[in-house]
Amino acid sequence: MFRRATQISLFSLAVVTLLWGVFLTRVRETDLVLCQNKLDMHKQSGSKSLFETTHQYRKGVMKDIYFVQEDLSRLHYRIESESSVLTLEPRGSKLDMIEKLEKIKCWMQDKLYTSPTGAPMQQMRYFEANEGLYLYATQQFEAQTVALSLFRLPGHALPMHFGSTSPFLKGLAKDVSFGLSGKTPQFKAQQFQAQLQNSIAEGS
């Protein structure tokens, strides 16, 4: 009697387990339609985002760039800005990345050398501007209405502060641009009005 009851119980459990498994593994038509709709929406959302201009806002931006010279010395540039807006803009099948920087400070080593006594020295540029653009595709930096100063300073490390050292040349430039690729960055200052030893010099 006990054995028969056990067999019946095991048989019932097997039937219930089988039905439960079939119910869980069977894909209903409504579930298929729902999943397909969600997949289509995801694809549409993804493809749409590739062709929309997007913006990213950042604070306290700092960029350090190094250029290795033929003598294996390294020129160091640093660009700092209080804030920036990074824009991804579609250009046909590609995306352009453009960063608009605000409240800019830039330190640029122009050359490293040694004094006649053998002491390490450097010539560098420093400028400030209210805003500028960094073009990622061409690695080009551009700024307008720039306060530019040129220094000769001891050491080969890029200084963040100049102390009591005065620039040997300073002035205002309407436009400044330079590339951040290659071994020799090309710096250009358009309509530069400089003050040198109490005299005024104009350059273009």
Inter-CA distances, 178 with 61, 80, 134, 169, Å: 18, 15, 10, 19
Per-residue pLDDT averaged across 147-152, rounded? Answer: 94
100 pLDDT above the threshold of 80: yes
Q: Give me Rg for the CA atoms of the chain.
A: 33
pTM over 0.85: no
Per-residue pLDDT averaged across 12-21, rounded? Answer: 42
**Closest among 79, 62, 65 to 128, alpha carbons compared:** 79
- How far apart CA 144 and CA 191 sit, in angstroms, is 11
What's the confidence (pLDDT) of residue 78? 94
Q: What share of the chain is helix, strand, coil (3-state, %, to 5)?
A: 25, 55, 25
Per-residue pLDDT averaged across 67-79, rounded? Answer: 86
More confident residue, 137 or 80: 80
Per-residue pLDDT averaged across 51-62, rounded? Answer: 86
More confident residue, 108 or 201: 108
pLDDT band for position 44 (cuts 50, 70, 90): low
Predicted confidence (pLDDT) per residue in 57-72, tens digit: 999 999 898 888 777 7
More confident residue, 47 or 115: 115
